[in-house]
Structure 1
Amino acid sequence: MDEAEFMRGRVYGAEHGDPGPRTGHVYAQLVGGPLDGLLLDVTGTFGDGRPESIALPTEIGRYGPGGRAVYAPRPPDARRFDWQGDAP
């Protein structure tokens, strides 16, 4: 995926009327699972390091409303978070 294509993606949690990435923000692409292809705004979120995993609320995962999709940073590529599974 080139930079132009990356910046056209939808952002997780963004309003439908304003789905695109914002200049000056840092994003990671969610890979696999129910949120596949969405961008996660990680601007200043993790301080000095990345978490081992992050659980994102979603209504379209295995556990439906109230469930979470779990993603973990891909070690060689900090711009990608891979799906690890769903959690209640």
Structure 2
Amino acid sequence: MDREDERLLRRRVYGADHDDPDPGPLPHRTYAELVGGPLDGLLLDITGWRADEVDTGVALATELGQFGPGGRALYDPRPGEPRSSGPGVSCRFYHSGDTP
């Protein structure tokens, strides 16, 4: 295992319990890396998502965004950015704003 693999294994997955002793990614799952905004650096499990679902992006509940508890952080892929298939980090979702 190289340093990049070790770094990936230490990362948190969005939605993992803060008390979870192993909140990191699982080797057989597929993830989008969240870039910017309140959830920067977290991984979002997108295992089983269709391409059109990935293209749409997400609104993720967070207490850390502009609207506090109950708000959502919006993350979208960049058009034309390459994606890989299979397990591991396959793409990036970039922060595009917050919504109540």
So what's the TM-score if we normalise by structure 1?
0.86
1:47 equivalent in structure 2: 50
SS in 2 for 1:51: helix
User: Larger helix proportion, structure 1 or 2?
Assistant: 2
Identity of aligned residues (%): 54
User: What is the rounded CA distance, in whole Å, between the counterparts of 1:38 and 1:59 in structure 2?
Assistant: 14
How many positions carry a matched residue from both structures?
87
Equivalent residue, structure 2, for 1:36: 40
Rounded to whole Å, the distance in 1 between the matches of 2:70 and 2:12 is 21
Provide, for residues 12-47 of structure 1, a one-character-per-residue CA deviation record: whole Å limited to 9, x for no partner.
Answer: 001121311112000111000000000000001x22
Matches within 5 A, 1:55-66: 55-66=59-70
1:81 aligns to what? 93
Distance 1:77 1:29 in 2: 13
**Alpha-carbon distance in structure 2 between the residues aligned to 1:48 and 1:33:** 24
Q: Which has the larger radius of gyration?
A: 2
CA distance in 2, matches of 1:2, 1:42: 20
Give unmatched runs, 5+ long, in structure 1.
none
Q: Which amino acid aligns with 1:39?
A: L
Q: Which amino acid aligns with 1:77?
A: P
TM-score by length of 2: 0.77
SS at match of 1:2: helix
Which structure has more RCO (C-alpha within 8 Å, separation ≥ 6)?
2
